Amino acid sequence: MMEVILHIYDVTNSGSDKTNNTIVQINKIFKDGIGLGGIFHSAIQVYGDDEWSFGFCEQGSGVFSCPSGKNPMYTYRESMVLGRTNFSIFRVNQILRELSREWPGSSYDLLSKNCNHFCDEFCERLGVPKLPGWVNRFANAGDTAVEIAESTALRLRQAKTEIVSASKVAYRFLVGVTSGSSGGNDSPSNSNRGSPRFQAAWFKNLISPGAKPSGSSEIETQEDNVLQQQRQHNFAQTMRQNFQDSERPRHQSSQDLGRTLQHNLKDSELPRQQNSWNEI
């Protein structure tokens, strides 16, 4: 069994002494002070004096090696033993060749595919624990933030697309209603669409139970029939009243004539009776 050793560096390859000193101070505060993490480079040593890591290059593999703890681009910080691997040196070299093909230098990404991600993958294939969480915490946090931002942007784009689609549907609906109310009478649907009379009648019929919506021509016919029936009713009432008024004096005059005749008849009979008594 062979030890697997993790070597950790402060990332001080910015080309600016001020920036490099700032990174060192950040790592001291966040790692040494509160144990949160920092900005680190890592490499794995197994079988030999070299360490293996991953970095950016335009062509070829990004996997490279250098003497352990002596990477000239960074400031060495510390090392720790992660565990022991059961694999032989032959198998370890085979794993390194596989990783060299799978990790081209052009695929390097500071947040999602950096040297710490490579060391995690290497340790997993060696069968030992991965790096402590604080080694790559800043990159993982940044990668998570990027994923959240990208997901949020995608959701916003989807919401915008849905809003635009809904707006187009509403616009087509409004255009259809407007053209239906101002257009010609090519079809029954066009004549009824947007007509105030039709809409008023439809709402009125909604209030009446069992009623069905009517067209504008049917409404006009119904109104004409009602007016005609009203006129006929008024005319019949007027004629009936006039007939009763004309019959009342005629009936009264016939009764008066009958009384006058009876009275005259009685008057004519009285002299006749008186004459008959005189004769006796």
Coil/strand/helix, residue 213? coil
* CA distances for 232 relative to 34, 149, 235, angstroms: 102, 80, 5
Distances (CA, A) of 198 to 201, 208, 213: 5, 15, 8
Q: Which of 7, 41, 119, 123 is catalytic?
A: 41
Asked about 123 being catalytic, the answer comes back as: no
b/e code 98-114 from CB counts within 10 Å (16+ = b): ebbeebbbeebeebebb
Establish whether 115 is a catalytic residue: yes
Instruction: Give start and end residues of each alpha helix (H) in 50-186.
Output: 89-102, 115-126, 137-182
Q: Which of 115, 117, 119, 123 is catalytic?
A: 115
SS3 205: helix
Q: Give the residue numbers marked as catalytic.
A: 41, 115
